[in-house]
Every structure is written in C-alpha cells, then in structure tokens.
Amino acid sequence: MKAKDILYIIDGSSYIFRAYYATPPLSNSEGLPTNATYGFTQMLMKLLEEVKPEHLVMVFDAGKESFRHKIYPKYKANRGDPPEDLIPQFQTIREVVEALNIPVLEKPGFEADDIIATLIAKPEQLPAQVDAIIVSSDKDLLQLVDGRVKMWDTMKGKHFGAKEAEEKFGVPPEKIVEVQALMGDSVDNIPGVPGIGPKTAASLIQTYGSLEKLYAHLGEIKGKQKEKLEQNRELALISHKLVELKKDVPLKTSFKDYALREPQQEKCQKLFERLEFHRFLNKKSKSQKTLKTQDYELVQEESSLKKLISALKAAGEFAVDTESTSLNLFKAHLVGLSFSLDQGQACYIPVGHETKDKQLAKDLVLKELKPVLQDPKLKKYFQNYKYDQGLLAKEGIEVEGLAMDTLVAAYLLDSSGRYKLDMLSLKYLQHQMISFEEVVDHKKEEAAFAKVSLKRATTYAAEDAEVTFRLAKIFEKDLAKEGLKKLYENLEQPLIPVLAKMERVGVLLDQDFLKDLQEQFAQGLEECQIKAHELAGQDFNLNSPKQLQEILFDKLGLKPTKKTKTGYSTDVEVLQALAHVHPLPETLLRHRTLSKLKSTYVDALLTLVEPSTGRIHTSFNQTVAETGRLSSSDPNLQNIPIKTPEGAQIRRAFIAEKGFILLSADYSQIELRVLAELSGDKALRKAFEENLDIHSLTAANIFNVPEAKVDAQMRSVGKTINFAVIYGKTVFGLSQQLGIPQKEAKA
C-alpha cells in the first residue's frame, strides 16, 4: 500500500525569527548581515534532505497590518520593530526560497497563520487522501491539528498531534480557541479576561464547552470569577475573534501547485557565492562537476549517425533515452533520442525540434536505428522502459534486448525511496542533473522541449542517457550483492514489457452503457433530493453539512452522536445510526452513494477514454507499493466498486473486444498459504492440504456454527480477520473495519 501523501507547510515567518535568534551574528565581506539567512537556509536544507518532501509550501506574513488590527487597534501593539540587522535579510531569505524553487504563499491583510488554516480547511488545498505537517513552533496553530494534521517543531524535535495539543491546553484542539479567548496572549497583546489564567480557562471550557455557552450559563458561576467574566465580556468576545484563525483566505493556488520542483542550480550557485555560504556552495559545486556534459555529441550528419550505429554494435551494450512532446503516449511525438555507450560518452540525435537548427529526417534516423534497437543480442539500459518502448512502438520499432530498467532496479534495491532519474543521480552518483525547467526557461509545458536549441537539448538529453548507463552498472553489482539478481531477472524485468503492452492495448469501455448509467444515477440523485425535501418538509442543500445539522438535529430533533469543529457530525457513521429512527438519513446515505459513484467513477471514466482507441489506458505501477504489489492509476482499476448493485453495474462497462473474453484470475489465498509455510502451523497447513476454505473455517469458529451454515457475509468477516492477523491490524482497526465494538474485535 502506498503511504499517504504529505503536504509540508512551513511557517516561514516563524522560521525567520527563530533562525535569527538561534544563529550568532554573521555578515559577508560586503557587510551584509547574513545570520538569519544562514540559519534559515540551514534549517530548510536539513528538512529537505531528511524528509525529502514531494509537496511543500512556504507561508509568509505579507506585512505588519492585518484584519485583526481593525478589530482591535492594540493588537500586537507591544511588539517593536524588527532588529535593524534582520530587516535586510527578509529579502535575501526570499531569494533563497526562490532559488530553491519552494512554492510561496502570502496575502496582504492576512497573517501566515490564516493562510495555513485555509490550506488545512479547503479540500482543493489539502485533498482528502493527503495529510499535513505544519512546520512551526507557534502554539496558535495547535487549534488546527487532528488525525490528518500534525505540527512539527523542528528545532526542538517535537511533534504535536491532537493528544499533545490537549495536554498543552487542557482541551481538544477544536476548543483551544475558546481557552485562548479567555486567557489572552501577552505576546500578541490579546487582552482575554484579566485574572483568568490557562488552568482556569481550560477548566471553564471543559465544563461549558465554549465561550458562548459559558456566558449563557454565567449565573452558575460564583464570586470574583463571575465578576471578572461579566466586566470583561466584550474583551473576551474580541479576543475570540483575534485568536480564531480564518479558514477562507482567497488563494489562487491548489494542492498541485505545491509539488516540489528541483532547485534552480545557477541561481543557488550565484546567491550562495554572494552570501558566502561556502557550506552550501561546496555541496552544489561538488554535485555539479561529476559529469563532463560539455563533451556530449550532437548528431546532425548522416555520417555521424552511421558512425554511432557502428559504435553501438561494437559496444554490445548502451543506454537509450527518448525526448518527446508529452508524457501521454497517445499525444506524444518523438523529438529526439540519446545514447550512452560508456561513462563520459553520450550523444543526442534530434528529429523533431521546431528550431532552425539542422537535424536529420526522423524517417532516416529510425530506419537506421531500427535493426539496432530490435536486436535482442544488444544489451539496452532504460530509465522507465515502458514509456520509451511505447514511444518507439508508435514509430514501428519494437525494442528487444532490455538488460535493465534502472527505475525498477532502484525500486527493488530500496522500495521506500524516490526513483526519478535526478534523485537517483544525486543518491548514487552525487551528481546534480540539469532540470527540465532550466532547459525550457522554466516553462512547464511538456511540448516546450521541441522549441529548445539543439545545443541545450543535447546537454539535457545526453546527460539522461549517461546517468542511466552509470546507474545500470552500479545496480548490476548492487542487485548481485543484495541477493536480488535472480528476482530482478526472473520476475521484475520480464514483467516490464508485459505491463507496457497492457498499457498500450488498454481495456475497452462500453461508453454507451456508461452514459446510460450516468443518466440513471443522475435521475436517482434527483429522486433522492425530492424525497429528502418531502421528508424534511422543506428544500435544502443535501451536500451542506450546516443545513443537514439544522434539519436533522434542530428541526427533526434527532439525537446527535458525534461533534466536529463546526457542529454535530453528519458523516456516514452518524447517518447509519440515525437511519434506524427516521427515513431521511437513509435517503441521504443513498444520495451520497450515488453521488460518489457518479462523480468518482462514471463521470471520471468517461473523461479518461482515449478518443483514438475508445479504451481506458491505465498506468500499471511496478515501483509504487512498498509491499511489492502491483498498483494502477489514472484510473485505479483495482478500485472499481463491486460490493453494491450499483457498483457492480460500473464493472459491467468494462468489456472485451468482439471475439475475445475477459478472464479474471487470482491466486488462491496466496498470503495465507505463505503464512502456513513460514509458520508451520499444523491446522493451517492441514486446511490447505485438504483443500478446505480457510475463510469459512475461521468464520465457523467465530460465529460458532457448522461450516455448512457459513453464509457469504460470515465468510467475509472470516476473511477480514485472517488478513488482519497477517498484516498486524490493531484491535481498533479491526473494529472499525467490521463495524463492531473493540471488545468483540479483541476476542
């Protein structure tokens, strides 16, 4: 199973001040103060090297004034101006962030904390399948932590989840705002209620739940405490507005914009030279000088091409890489090919550049290269063979002689790593490769490479080939050393061309059937809405949690079972419980089911059909799951629903071409068979030797019934329990999966 994605959110303003006070005074030879910049860079580099985040965003305050100053002019009035030697470093710190290609967010009128809160709250900023780690020491941000969101104080090495936040404030994270409103904050000049400290504030909120409810029950409080609260009611309400983080800051970005890009090496080099940060400069210099990219050859003459082909045949082994206009094979056009025969020997053959530079005709180049690429006796190294082979197959060349795909080999050697070529180059060669953005002037369009000058293209493309060749030589030795050579040669590598062909062929989709299903689901959703409005006695938005809360708990008087930051929960678990006492929750559940099936599967599948083939061309991922399992994406064909009648309908849309059939095959309880072999468990081994159904046996024992009386639902429970044992699922996890009390799960 792939680990969840994590968005690292760095509180940049906090980072700056911590770096300033933690680093002794420093300046470069020109007298420019650099201590905060150095400390900031050191902290940031350490995080990047240790965590290797795939998604990260830096958040800064945009200025001194925010909307809070309008609410309370004295807000932060006790804070003086920043130290004089820090002021010029604000700019150099931003230059460091820009050179490292870190995405940045800031918004005039709002503080960094508000932007961070918005990032956490909005699904377009933090999708449901993504967790977040806030890198900060700001206690105000603890109100945001929950099961998906943690705070990390990197300087102290402390992690804060909901438990740690509650230990600090005495209340759960969603109640921290209420406590802060009462106790105030001298650092930010938030008044609170004078005389009410942290412990008293926590005790009051533990009792009454919120500031509003506290004042509603003020008559229950006696003595001076009541007097303080009465006299400072306005201050408490103002303080609440000051400490509560805004979760609707208008942002023009979304999660995809926080994908971490490679640093701009030239900018880093010049900036670190100017700042005289020799530690970071030496790192970059060392990594940049590993390969002599200036020696790469640009093949523009037919005689040079023939000479190259002779050299490839004589060498008997070489690395191959392709350049194209798109990562989508069905849209991609070949732009060029690069080869490397040995360390320091690489070349590039342009065939599809849209420049005035001289290049050989594509047909001529491919005609000459075809016998070489299709010769199974010539060993070929690739980084992502599936793509290069697919691109060449479009040109009528079926590559033979795959000796290694460095992408797959790297995965086999370390299934928890990152396998992009530039990352592998850094890890194994200590070489910083030129980035795609540097070559195409930081444009993100894939097609932009066709417009790059041949000289620059050669440096980039030939480097890919040489790095691939060097990695292949390293991996050949490492696979043998780790005892993985046979596994790679007999299982992983033979699978690569099979997966490549599966992706190219795709799976046929009955689009007419799916469109009919789309209409059926749309009609079903409309019927659910009409019925829900009738049951509620009024119109309302079925997708609005706030309106659902009002209808279910206020108007209908149903008993709430769970609470969230924004009120009582209306999640699936709650609706399932309420469905026993009123018909509306059942209608809402059906509406959610149909809505998810329609948007996630039916609508999405229709958009993923390749027009030229009428098929879905998923990607089969050999290097994603740490367990070694195969996975698929765009779309995930392993996630097509089947457990409900409507879900099963979606599966019917996947059909075989006329004259063919779809065959479903699976190992018979492979994990349990491996467990029986490795554990030597006699009962387990006997069950398999006698060809018994192990899941039914487990179910019979659990439900205390004869095996013949085990139905499909019981067997499903037995299967869940068996796999829970194998994969070490906790009692809580099993109880959640089966929907049973933890006591039963433990038994």
0.85 exceeded by pTM:
no
DSSP string for residues in 572-591: HHHHHHHTTT-HHHHHHHHH
3-state secondary structure of 382: strand
pLDDT given for residue 634 in this prediction: 87
Mean pLDDT, to the nearest integer, of 7-22?
91
The angle subtended at Cα 277 by Cα 271 and Cα 282, nearest 5°, is 95
3-state secondary structure of 728: coil
Which CATH number does the domain 5-169+247-258 belong to among 3.40.630.10, 3.40.50.1010, 3.60.21.10, 3.90.1720.10? 3.40.50.1010
Fold topology of 509-655: Taq DNA Polymerase; Chain T, domain 4 (1.20.1060)
> How would you classify residue 684: left for phi > 0, otherwise alpha for psi between -120 and 50, otherwise beta?
alpha
Q: Of the candidates 682, 685, 690, 710, which has an alpha carbon nearest to the alpha carbon of residue 698?
A: 710
**pLDDT at position 275 over 80:** yes
Tens of pLDDT, residue by residue over 25-83, are 788 878 889 999 999 998 898 899 888 899 999 999 987 788 888 888 888 887 778 88
Question: pLDDT-derived band of residue 176, with 50, 70 and 90 as boundaries?
Answer: very high
| Tokens 């798109």, residue located | 326
| Tokens 């993985």, residue located | 484
Q: What is the CA radius of gyration of the chain?
A: 31
To the question of domain 288-504 being in CATH 3.30.420.10, the answer is yes
Instruction: Name the least confident of 84-98, 122-136, 405-419.
Output: 405-419
Hey, do 288-504 and 509-655 end up sharing a CATH topology, with the first three levels equal?
no
Question: H or E segment at 341?
Answer: strand 334-342
Residue 116, CA distances (Å) to 95, 140, 144, 147, 665 in order: 22, 11, 9, 16, 47
Instruction: Name the least confident of 179-183, 321-325, 707-711, 723-727.
Output: 723-727
The angle subtended at Cα 439 by Cα 433 and Cα 441, nearest 5°, is 130
Domain boundary assignment for the chain: 5-169+247-258, 288-504, 509-655, 670-746
Dist. CA 665–CA 680, nearest whole Å: 27
Tens of pLDDT, residue by residue over 337-384, are 999 999 889 999 999 999 999 999 999 999 999 999 999 999 999 999
Question: pLDDT-derived band of residue 496, with 50, 70 and 90 as boundaries?
Answer: very high
Tens of pLDDT, residue by residue over 653-698, are 999 999 999 998 888 888 888 888 998 888 788 888 888 888 888 8
Dist. CA 197–CA 499, nearest whole Å: 64
**pLDDT at position 626 over 70:** no
pLDDT given for residue 281 in this prediction: 64
Beta strands in 501-562 (DSSP E): 507-509
**pLDDT at position 119 over 50:** yes
Question: H or E segment at 319?
Answer: strand 317-324
Axis crossing angle, helix 89-99 with helix 35-51, rounded to the nearest 10: 30
Question: pLDDT-derived band of residue 713, with 50, 70 and 90 as boundaries?
Answer: confident
Mean pLDDT, to the nearest integer, of 404-420?
87
Tens of pLDDT, residue by residue over 233-267, are 999 999 999 999 999 999 999 999 999 998 988 88
Question: pLDDT-derived band of residue 323, with 50, 70 and 90 as boundaries?
Answer: very high
Quick one: DSSP state of residue 109? B
pLDDT given for residue 732 in this prediction: 59
